[in-house]
Each structure stands twice: as C-alpha cells, then as structure tokens.
Amino acid sequence: MTSSQVTAGKAKRGRASSPAWLFFQRWLANPLAMGSITPSSAALRRIVRDNIICGPDQIVAEFGGGTGAITKAMLEAGIPGDRVYSFEIDKELAGYLREFYPDIHVVHDDCRKVAQILGPERVGKVGTVIIGIPMITLPMDLQREIVAATFSVMPEGSRFLLYTYMIHSPLNQKELGLKGKRVGFTPMNIPPASVWAYWKA
Ligand SMILES: C[S@@+](CC[C@H](N)C(=O)[O-])C[C@H]1O[C@@H](n2cnc3c(N)ncnc32)[C@H](O)[C@@H]1O
C-alpha cells in the first residue's frame, strides 16, 4: 500500500476534545454524512464485535470510523491492529482516529476507493466490512456504489454488517440485490439501534 492517506502505528494519544463533542461539531458541519449527533454506544459495539468474522489470514475494514466508537470492536474481537482498517472521509475525524488508535490503519478517504487503497494483495481478504455510514440518507446510486465496493474486497459468499436506528431493514434489499437479517438489537444506544448482516441474494 502506498497511499499517503493511510497511517498506522505512529500517532500519539491525548487530544483535548472529547469524542462526543467532536462528533457533535462534525454533525453540525455535515449532518447527512454523520447521520447521528452522538457516537455509538458500548452496547452496540459489543453486538458488532460478536458478529465479526475474520480468519487468521484475513483483515477487517470499517467504513465511517467517526470518533472510533465501533472501531474498538475490531480490536476487541482479537484482530491485531495491523489487520484493522478504518476509512473515514472527514479529515478531522480521521486525525482523531489516528491519535486514539495508533496501531490500526486509518484511511482518510472515501470508502468507495477501498479496493484501490488496499491493493491487489489485500483485495479478497477482508473477512468482514462494517458499514457505519448512514446509508439511508444517501441516494440509491451512492448506496449501490458503497455496496459494490464492499463486496469487491471480500471473498465470494461473505456478508457485511451495518448498524441502524431503523426498525426495518435500512437497505432496500431488492433494489440492491441483497439478502439480510437483523443479528442484534440494543435499547442502550441513542437512539436504540440494530445491527444487520447482508449478503448477495
Ligand atoms: C454515523 S457516523 C458513525 C461513526 C462511528 N462509527 C460511530 O458509530 O459512532 C458516520 C461516519 O461515516 C463517515 N462517512 C460518510 N461517508 C463516508 C464515505 N463515503 N467514506 C468514508 N467515511 C464516510 C462520516 O464522516 C461519519 O464519521
């Protein structure tokens, strides 16, 4: 990987701003991309953690790292930091992630470029993609592109995870050629949230 947007392992901890305050500020700047005024909870993170699949020769990727509330799930699942990738399009949030997760790969870029950024040696090796982007707020074409980018880096037959505040599936499965099921729900999140797993129909 040669991308200059990618770093792992060098940054320091200790930025003054709290994650909740930074998250709120970025929500004010871009409410549609953020989708929520507050970071995800530990309860939601645990559901994501328990649904991550990542074999010994695989990596795991998160789209929309934010302030890292769900990023931690990948480490808690026992995956070494050098096999964890978090894509975050917002420069300030990407900088924050780098400070708090110095041992993972933080990619300050659009997740739709995931295949290009991971490169041929990692494409097909992503065991799970966790989508933290508020897909429901995006036009269908953009949703299609994100779903296509997701499947492009995972082995055939894989599923991706998506968390949502909606009661029903946040993705139109017919339009996107998906099958999916809710794998967990927690009322201990603001607002209460579910985790869905999706795979190709
Ligand atoms: C709802 S927040 C989730 C943040 C965090 N994972 C959490 O659960 O608290 C969505 C994040 O996705 C990021 N995002 C939106 N579109 C993106 C894209 N195309 N590529 C990468 N990140 C994106 C936003 O900047 C924002 O930080």
What b/e readout covers 23-33, taking b as 16+ CB neighbours within 10 angstroms? bbebbeeeeeb
> Which atom of ligand 1 lies at the shortest distance from residue 64's CA?
12
Task: Grade residue 122 by pLDDT with cuts at 50, 70 and 90.
Answer: very high
Q: Is the pLDDT of residue 169 over 60?
A: yes
Establish if 2 belongs to a structural domain.
no
164 lines ligand 1 (CB under 6 A): no
CB proximity list for 4: less than 8 A, separation 6 or greater: none
110 lines ligand 1 (CB under 6 A): yes
CB 3 within 8 A of CB 117: yes
Run of H or E including 87 = strand 84-87
Range of the domain at 152: 16-200
pTM above 0.75?
yes
pLDDT tens string 6-41: 555 433 444 446 888 888 888 888 877 777 778 889
Pocket mutation for ligand 1, best pick of 89, 129, 153 (most atoms within 8 Å of C-beta): 89
Establish if 5 belongs to a structural domain.
no
Establish if 11 belongs to a structural domain.
no
Q: Any idea what the Cα angle at residue 108 is, between residues 103 and 111, rounded to 5°?
A: 105
Stretch 109-131: mean pLDDT: 98
Establish if 1 belongs to a structural domain.
no
Q: How many independent structural domains does the chain possess?
A: 1
> Which atom of ligand 1 lies at the shortest distance from residue 36's CA?
1
Q: What is the CATH number of the domain that holds 182?
A: 3.40.50.150
